[in-house]
Amino acid sequence: MAVGRDVVPHPVPPLGLLKQAPDYLAVASRINRIDVWQAAARAVGGSARRQRGCAAAH
């Protein structure tokens, strides 16, 4: 099918299927539950300290 200047094959909404941009911080906060990891570490007697970077990179 040839597409001319006046023909748009399919209109694309500004954000795809979403009506507004997602709140990525809120989504990440619900998924990455630091409190759950800290409680699990305390339950097994481990450290619940926060690590920086990747251990393999050191």
The two structure tokens encoding residue 13: 């909404």
pLDDT score for 58 = 44
pLDDT score for 6 = 63
Rounded to 10 degrees, what is the CA torsion of 11, 12, 16, 19?
-70
The two structure tokens encoding residue 33: 């539950």
Is the Cβ–Cβ distance between 3 and 9 less than 8 Å? Answer: yes
pLDDT score for 39 = 92
Higher pLDDT, residue 35 or 49: 35
pLDDT in tens, 1-37: 555 566 656 555 565 787 888 899 999 888 988 889 8
